[in-house]
Amino acid sequence: MSNEQGRYPRHVYLFPNGMVMVFDDTGQQIPELQGRDSEVIDRILAAATGFTQFLLGEWTAAGPNCSGSVTIAEFERRCREERITELLPAPSRRKSGRKR
């Protein structure tokens, strides 16, 4: 299934912050498939083909860079897993009341 403009995702980058960038065969971004992983995963999976590459991205001065590839199952798992660490408060640095 293609997106609204008839383009298929060729490269899908998942970044550590949960954002996703998607490019077609010509290197053009596909905006309607980009955004927060949990919000776009279903659209990406519906539009993906056997040629779609799922990549772990990192941002560099030159733009997005691939730090590795993952299977479609691993990509989906990473997108769907709860980001519990983002929801928890930072650990307290307060010292306990006990004296040593």
Burial of 23 (0-12, 13-18, 19+ CB in 10 A): buried
Report pLDDT for 43. Answer: 95
Q: Distance between CA atoms of 79 and 12, rounded to whole angstroms?
A: 12
Global pTM value: 0.71
In a domain, 68, yes or no: yes
Report pLDDT for 48. Answer: 94
Mean of pLDDT values over 73-97: 60
Assess whether pLDDT exceeds 70 at residue 7.
Answer: yes
In a domain, 28, yes or no: yes
* Full domain range(s) for residue 43: 11-83
In a domain, 93, yes or no: no
Mean of pLDDT values over 23-36: 95
Report pLDDT for 29. Answer: 95
Report pLDDT for 85. Answer: 43
